Structure 1
């Protein structure tokens, strides 16, 4: 490929305008780095963690959505377009509009894509009122109304197989719904089924024990190491595979978490690992073959459990590589997964890539246990920090 003469030249190009992309851009601007460009096709910026609270009926979209323009840091150029290819040998990115950008440094913060069509019948089910989800804002708003109105019958909650963006958050609307139904005296008449491909509610044993206790308390029927293989929404049925045996479950409401995968252009551009994610060193976030390429967030295979809470630690490492101040930190895989288990309490998991607990307050080793304090953090404090500190490069 020959670089066109009219290609735009931009020293720092960031692909993706979500949490990772905007926070990196803001940090670079605070270090006086000039000519930073974000490529992001969406006009709205969504704080995804609160979608689970919307689905569970304890929040609304006013605290979740802002315009992409309003969160783009001052001095950063936002190009509303979609990336289709990268030519790393020439340091060129190509957009859907046909525009090409020559970069000096490329930061891939493209997230992960939802694959509703990966399960037969799931994409069609999404169009019906009996299917809800906390993985898109419209479906989360539908979930809020639908789950609130359940009086009886079977409600199925599914968890996506890895890799996924914070797969465990699919449990949050389930606990919130059960808490509401119990308070209103409806829970005994509702069969709640939880389907997960994992062997336990969570991969970190102390956290898993907290969630197992909550599952038992609500009387949830948990099907572990089980995957949804087909949905027949018109009949209100889905098929699951468990231990090599296929069985059918009838449902009245399905809360679905779609399978997910990295953007296809990562692999086709030669930037991917064997699973299609950006092939970076998990400690430095730098590409193994092209030293002027970095990645963070869901597009990077740097922590076993992807989550928005991991990005802050990753951003600190990456900004030191792009605008060094004499330090060379390394990313240890820190991530977090909050589970809102009632409308007043949460289980807050913080850990590194080895599964060791890493509480934000180091001396509070049992911070992961169900507490009202961590609910306040998840529901109120972290959203404020996100909009006012993280996206402005201050935290």
Structure 2
């Protein structure tokens, strides 16, 4: 088989045989497109025959038959869609390979300029923020050409991992198929963004595909940098080292806490920013409550090591948390940053600042719950869109990029100073949806985000301190004080997290149902 490599992401070939399909798979192709109509000549394998062999070999397959000299714009659009959605590299074939090459050139021309963008709105990230924003947009404007770039097959309700670690939820309760969550009317481009070409209004994927857009929304989440702490990656999941920040490890947290019979338990929190800044403490309080009921807390040395200067960033919630710190006998260590793990020796090394500078302190442990340092994804940090912090630059109210008015960002990847929580994304999604549609129509932003975020601090099984706040730490309770006083532990708040919020997430937020998150006009925010 004679393969002509046009780009790293695409090649062409003459008519394939079943044997050629196996060769294509060996050479790294992940999808095949047939551009030849069936029955052009005697003995020609049908597209269905080649497609069956391709799928058996683990390759995706598409049939876009065209006639030489009669290829249309509709054919090019169909080819563009296939190139965007099939995993790369892609091999196209016809009788000689010429039609596949010509049709691909026509498909590429569709993204040559901003007027010919194949997608009106392109979203990077199929997590909470991306799915919710897509659903909100499609609720407002059916028929819009919208695509979501996302590499993962699974979608996770990450706020539930704290409850998995406490033995309240089963881990499977927090996972669903990504394919079943992509909103109707949206195209799923299964792949990973690699870089931005904002002047050309294109996104480059890892496999070489270029995706054009009219408006871009960036929300790929945050990178958990497990390798930033020497020894951590190798120690996770055994020898008492766990973290609720990973789906596969939250059940191990539950097993460790259940089997704990006393000793030293360490809980760590890295420097900000991190997603769900209360999660490091949640794991600690729920473990302590379990040990208190089991009668082993009195024989335990529980330590909280945080790189920050305070227990929580909003002072109004600290007194209630300190009541539990005192009740559980937790030793607080501020300005204490985990810098190394020796798994076999069950020893954690911390850097702690004192009057004489920074000293390294070694702490032995029987169990340690680690929260990894967190940074912006590499392709954002190294892009023209990033602030010095590495996150996507945005106006804090409109969530629009200050240089590129056709680009918005939300969720954990944006630079807004709000807390990085699912509740923040739930509030941001309709704001970005409204403003992105305005930008697509050539109008300025019309809605503003107030910085709202929420952190249900699980201080014991059955009670939660419901922290809700906006920019600058302003308290923003969703309920009247007589119903839920967020500064005090509440059983009703536990019911909210345990029973109400999961269906609100799956059946409300991800479906574009904007319960309790009505967008506010920009004027009302001034």
Query: How would you bin the TM-score normalised by the shorter chain?
Result: over 0.9
Partner of 2:428: 314
Q: How does 1:368-383 map to 2 (within 5 A)?
A: 368-383=487-502
- Deviation at residue 237 of structure 1 after TM alignment: 0.6
Q: Give the match for residue 133 of structure 2.
A: 24
Per the alignment, residue 113 of structure 1 pairs with: 223
How much does 1:245 deviate?
Answer: 2.3
Separation (CA, whole Å) in 2 of partners of 1:129 and 1:79: 40
Deviations 1:205-257 (A, max 9, x none): 12111111111101111111211121111111111122222211001111110
Could you report, residue by residue, the CA deviation over 1:59-111 in whole angstroms, capped at 9, with x for unpaired residues?
Answer: 11232111001111111111221111111111111112221101111000111
Structure 1 spans left out of the alignment, 5+ residues: none
SS at match of 1:382: helix
User: Could you report, residue by residue, the CA deviation over 1:274-330 in whole angstroms, capped at 9, with x for unpaired residues?
Assistant: 111001111110001111100000001213421111112211211111235998221
Contact 1:198 1:224 in 2 (8 A): yes
Residue 269 (structure 1) aligned with residue 354 (structure 2): no
Is the 1:87–1:269 Cα contact (8 Å) retained in structure 2? no
1:229 — aligned with what?
A: 339
Deviates more, 1:147-156 or 1:19-28: 147-156
- Partners of 1:56 and 1:174 within 8 A in 2: no
Q: Which residue of 2 aligns with 1:249?
A: 363
| Structure 1 position 16, deviation (Å) | 0.4
Q: Provide the C-alpha distance between the structure 2 equivalents of 1:265 and 1:17, rounded to a whole number of angstroms.
A: 16
The verdict on how the C-alpha distance between 1:12 and 1:299 changes in structure 2, with shifts beyond 3 A counting, is same
Specify the alignment match of 2:93 in structure 1.
Answer: none
Match of 1:135 in 2: 245
Q: What's the counterpart of residue 88 of structure 1?
A: 198
Aligned pairs for 1:180-195 within 5 A: 180-195=290-305
Residue of structure 2 in register with 1:258 after alignment: 372
Once the 2 structures are TM-superposed, how far is the Cα of residue 36 of structure 1 from its aligned partner?
1.0
1 CA distance for matches of 2:251 and 2:154? Answer: 16
Q: Please, what TM-score do these two structures have when normalized by structure 2?
A: 0.72
Once the 2 structures are TM-superposed, how far is the Cα of residue 6 of structure 1 from its aligned partner?
A: 6.5
Higher relative contact order (CA 8 A, sep 6+): 1
Please identify, of 249-258 and 191-200, the stretch whose mean Cα deviation from structure 2 is larger.
191-200
* 1:210 maps to which of 297, 300, 320: 320
Which deviates the most, 321-330 or 111-120?
321-330
3-state SS of paired residue (2:244)? coil
Q: What is the distance in 1 between the residues matched to 2:449 and 2:281?
A: 27
Contact in 1 for aligned 2:336/2:351 (Cα 8 Å): yes
Counterpart position of 2:158: 48
CA distance in 2, matches of 1:294, 1:96: 21
Residue 416 of structure 2 corresponds to residue 305 of structure 1: no
Q: Is the 8 A contact 1:160 1:167 kept in 2?
A: no
Please list, as runs of the form range in 1=range in 2, the aligned pairs for 1:146-165 lying within 5 A after superposition: 146-165=256-275
1:38 equivalent in structure 2: 148
| 1:339-380 deviation per Cα after TM superposition (whole angstroms, max 9, x unaligned) | 111110001100111111110025558323101011111121
Map of 2:109 onto structure 1? 5
Task: Give the structure with higher Rg (CA).
Answer: 2
Greater shift, 7-16 or 63-72, is seen at 7-16
Shift of 1:267: 3.1
Question: Are residues 1:173 and 2:283 paired?
Answer: yes
Tell me which residue corresponds to 2:452: 334
3-state secondary structure, aligned to 1:173: helix
